[in-house]
Chain A
Amino acid sequence: MFKKLFVSIATCLSLSACVSLNSVSLTQIPVERDNSITATSHSWNFLGIAFSNDFVDEAILDLKSQCAEGKLEGILTKHQTTAYFLVLKREVIATGYCQQG
């Protein structure tokens, strides 16, 4: 009985870890693409119940701090959701190129 339950839970956990890509956007890509930076922010929620989307702003602040005094171009922004067992992870991943000087 316990073994069957364990196998069922393990199967559910492994099958339900699925990623869905909600949105993608890209800005103009620069010629010089040496200094690539990435910022990620995420929010966990139970059964998809979330009360705020403020985690998005964390990614922007992180990008800003990684390219202080510079110009950040070619920003690829991905918004994705990963579904685990009963729990969802909402994530914003931003990648860009920092041009200093």
Chain B
Amino acid sequence: MRQYFAIAAFGLLTACARLDHVQIGEIDQSQGTLIPFNVQVSQFGFEAAAAAELGRAVSKGRTAEQFQQLRDILALMNMGPRTGNPVYDDEYANKVMDYIYAECPTGKMTGLTSVREAKAFGAVSGEIVRLSGYCIL
């Protein structure tokens, strides 16, 4: 029982906001009134090796060993440079431009800021692309 409490506490404590990339665009305040907008898309991210590690932590004996082997294999399979947890749809950020035009139909915008971030809960995470800016009226 204590193990489950420890895992739950660990999961809650690791509900982290992760920040990967920030890019601030040019801000033109001389063209008119600026109306702020904010667009965000996200995708479910899953770290299989971390899930196997959780399995190892809650199991004992031979099962724990098998989870450990699985964890190592998964970690080796996903080795290499990457940003955040793997996702199952690599096109989830493609429609941000359509969403921005929906927020700012005139297309006159400034101060476009793009942020790549995530909300991580242990082995799972929400991999987020957030764009904010100002629509010029």
Contact = CB atoms under 8 A, between A and B. Distances in A.
Interface string A38-66: 00000000001111110011011001100
B8 interface: no
Contacts, number: 79
A79 B115 CA distance: 11
Interface residues of A, number: 32
B24 A94 contact: yes
Q: Which of B16, B20, B30, B117 has the most CB of A within 10 A?
A: B30
Given A51-B17, A60-B113, A77 B27 contact: no
A67 B27 contact: yes
A67 B27 CA distance: 9
Given A64-B29, A71-B29, A72-B28, A23 B117 contact: no
B14 A49 contact: yes
B11 interface: no
A28 B115 CA distance: 19
A95 to B, nearest CB: 10
Contact of A64 (B19, B20, B27): B27
A72 B30 CA distance: 10
B95 to A, nearest CB: 22
B20 A63 contact: no
B26 A60 contact: no
A69 B24 contact: no
Q: Which of B15, B27, B30, B117 has the most CB of A within 10 A?
A: B27
A22 interface: yes
Contact of A79 (B17, B19, B25, B28): B19
A83 interface: no
B117 A53 contact: yes
5 contacts: A25-B23, A50-B17, A51-B15, A60-B27, A72-B27
* Cβ-closest 9 pairs across A and B: A25-B23, A23-B21, A72-B27, A71-B28, A79-B22, A77-B24, A50-B17, A53-B19, A53-B17
Given A60-B113, A101-B30, 7 more contacts: A22-B21, A23-B23, A53-B19, A70-B29, A72-B27, A72-B28, A75-B25
